[in-house]
Amino acid sequence: MQIELSELDINVSILGQAKGITKINLNGTTIDVTNITAVVDVSTSTTDQVHWALSEDIDLSIGNITITTNSKIITKFIKANQAKILSGINAALPAVQTKISPLVDKLNEKIFNENDYSF
C-alpha cells in the first residue's frame, strides 16, 4: 500500500539575526514552503502477515518556496535566485531521505517486537 501526503504547506516566521561579515536582521522574515509531497510505501513484509513494516522507499518533493524579509534588497536577491534556491533544496532532499531511513528501521524493529508497552 502506498500512502501519499500531498499539497502540504509550511509557514515559518523568523525572529533574530544572522551574523557573518555584517549582521543581517531577520526579524519579520517568513518562509513559505508549498506543495510538499511525501510518498511512503507500507507493506507487510513479516512472515506472520500481521505486523506492518514501513519500507524505506520514501520520496519527498517541494513544489515552491517563497522567502520574504523586511529588507527590500535581500528579498529582491532571494527572488532573483528563487529557482536556484528551490533547485538546491530539491537536490538536498535525497540526503534528507537517507536520514529518514534509519528512523524507519528503528520504527520497524519496534513494530516487529511490539508488546503492550511499545507505544
66: CATH: 3.15.10.10
Which ranges in the chain belong to alpha helices (H)? 72-80, 82-112
Listed residue (97, 101, 74) closest to 85, CA to CA: 74
Domain around 34: 2-112
- The interaxial angle of helices 72-80 and 82-112, nearest 10 deg, is 80
- What the block records as the C-alpha cell of 29 is 522574515
Q: Which residues are CB-contacts of 30 (< 8 A; sequence separation ≥ 6)?
A: 11, 12, 13, 14, 66, 67, 68
* Domain assignment of residue 117, yes or no: no
Structure confidence at residue 99 as a pLDDT band (50, 70, 90):
confident
pLDDT in tens, 23-48: 777 777 888 888 888 887 776 666 66
Residue 72 forms part of a structural domain: yes
Could you tell me if residue 75 is inside a domain?
A: yes
The answer to whether residue 6 sits within a structural domain is: yes
Q: Which pTM was predicted?
A: 0.60
Determine, yes or no, domain membership for 119.
Answer: no
Total number of domains in the chain: 1
Please check whether residue 118 lies inside any domain of the structure: no
Question: Does the pLDDT of residue 10 top 70, yes or no?
Answer: yes
Cell of residue 41, nine digits: 510505501
Residue 23 counted as domain residue: yes
pLDDT at site 71: 82
Instruction: Examine the pLDDT at 81 and tell me if it is beyond 90.
Output: yes
Give a yes or no: residue 102 inside a domain: yes
